[in-house]
Chains A and B, each alone.
Chain A
Amino acid sequence: VIRRLAPALDAGHVAWNRTAKRWAELTSVASRTDPSLISAASEVRAAIAAIATNQTGWATPDQLAARVDLPKTVKTLHLSMIASVDIAYVVRDTAVDHPGLIAPARIIDMRSQGEAEIAIEQGETRYEGVTWTTPHQIAANQLIPLPEPARRGLINLADEVIGSTNLARAPQDRAGTHLREAGERKENDHAAAVERGGGG
């Protein structure tokens, strides 16, 4: 079960990274990250760095085993991953209907055209012959509202994240049961040993 988890986690990692890259294209010089979010993100990074990294990169399995109770820590991360599905859903909803989503015209034009071509290949006819920006907007690289195909691209990416995270969740739920059973077995063995010791 645990071995089957690795590809699903890798896919989730790639999907989140692609999402970050696509949303980064929509930022402008006026974009500001919420300071509280920066602070919370820094603490997560620092906590993970303390556990899972060494001076050259990721820590070795021996270092990891020495630093933390691995099953317990994986369980903590598992819970965080379950929460990340909900975050992905909210990110998707933001892409669907957030009225304030604006981005520089050049990147919007490029992305909208790309998404429209994909949709046209899949049989969508509404986007044929449509232009998404005016020459003036392109020349000035104005901040403009996201047209439908650009939103559609973000929604597809969010769906990818949700799909891959759910894939990673399913085997890990079973792994969690496996870890719990292993812990219970260990406790039962210990209790039996104590009982035998007391009886003998």
Chain B
Amino acid sequence: LSAKSETSPSIFTSKNRINKINNRIFTGLVWIISSIVVLFILGLLVLILQRGMPHLSWGFIFGLPSEIDAGGGIGPALFNSFYMLFISLLIAVPLGMAAGIYLAEFAPENKLIGFVRICVEGLASVPSIIFGLFGIAIFVEMCGIGLTIIGGAVSLAFLNLPVMTRVTEEAIRAVPKEIKSASFALGATHLQTIRKVLIPVAISGIVTGISLIAGRAFGESAVIILTAGVSTSGEMWDFNLLSPGETLAVHLWYVQSEAIVPDAVEISQKSAAVLLFIVLMINFLFRVPFWIKDRKKG
């Protein structure tokens, strides 16, 4: 027994030392890997902005693209991006919100609704190209209108509908039951409760969802290539819903891989910078009000 008690402390100390070394190595490793990876990704983004931003000019941002000569701009593509973003949000946000409110507030708990929920959740993360294929079948084949802005915008809206529905449902479900009961106890109808209590409480979740789908719609390219094409009508401020609707994201790909203009590299660098800048701005603008609100709350 005495022999044991003599040896065991030394075992402990040697094990302890190994553990301590392991621990130190591990801590160092985590710090190094995390900082390298994060710095690397941020560095890439800064690189894009840095390569494109200094050469930007209004002539490039609002200029017409050219097929053969150097010096083409991105005006119509940029306009199409915003135009299609606007139309798709106009469809996806009200429909998605109403469907989300239905699932959170009115839907009975049965197997059919359970199945619908699984479908919504499933389609929220289905590859976007599926929606592109669906868009081709509906707009190009069945309606026969070809590659158009409206086809692209509606396909984008379909892509974002499940996400919007899910985000709204979750945000409304997360509202504490007491608040809802208090509203009913004051004699409010269901609509009044939803409008004046549930939505205001859940608004930060809903707006985050909208910023998510807006960013996704703005940067989406596969769906647009399939349903709206890789060319623009070649005019600025073309509101016609039936003209072809290449967006900025598609233009970035097109110039880099298919186009034959001599200054393709420069155009794509500048387009990438503009695209990245706008996506960052969308994220930023939607989030700032909540940061301020959080800060005020303390």
Q: Do A and B bind each other?
A: no
